[in-house]
Amino acid sequence: MRKIAIAVMTSALVASGLVAATSAGAATTCLGGAVTFTKPDGEYYQPSSPTFYKTTSRCADINLRLNTGKSVKVCFYKSDYTLNYCQSNYTQVPWDNWTVVASDVNDGTLFRFRYLSDLSSTNAKAAF
């Protein structure tokens, strides 16, 4: 089930026709390939288990844009879907601004966002 969820998310990113870019166009291409999501009330993780995001060559960093300010950190997972580690500190992601929440992440890395609050987050965007 976990592998299917990752395959579906990866296929959706590839099918969207996004490609890696360099120089000034890199940020535009990276952010232009963002996925939109809603984290429901009562959840601390996005996506919720057993689903994961997987970094791509489009972005060197993991970027987040929220419609309300929230504190978020990134948890990284091994290829067997077990937790590798979570960042020790939360990053404050301000309202309606792109924020780097993890830098220089290897392509193909599995991860989820860990919110400090379990309040919902609607129409949020992530670029990775």
Q: Kindly write down the DSSP assignment for every residue of the chain, as one continuous string.
A: -HHHHHHHHHHHHHHTT-----TTHHHHHHHHTPEEEEEPTT--EESPTT--EE--TT-SSEEEEBSS-EEEEEEEE-TTS-EEEE-SS-EEE-BT--EEEE-SPPTT-EEEEEESS-S-EEEEEEE-
The highest-level CATH class for domain 2-127 is mainly beta
Q: Map out the domains of the chain as residue ranges.
A: 2-127
pLDDT of residue 103: 97
pLDDT at 9 over 50: no
Per residue in 31-71, pLDDT tens?
Answer: 999 999 999 999 999 999 889 999 999 999 999 999 999 99
| Over residues 2-19, mean pLDDT | 41
- Phi first, then psi, for residue 5 (nearest 5°) are -60, -40
Mean pLDDT (the chain, rounded): 85
Give pTM, 2 decimals: 0.78
pLDDT at 21 over 50: no
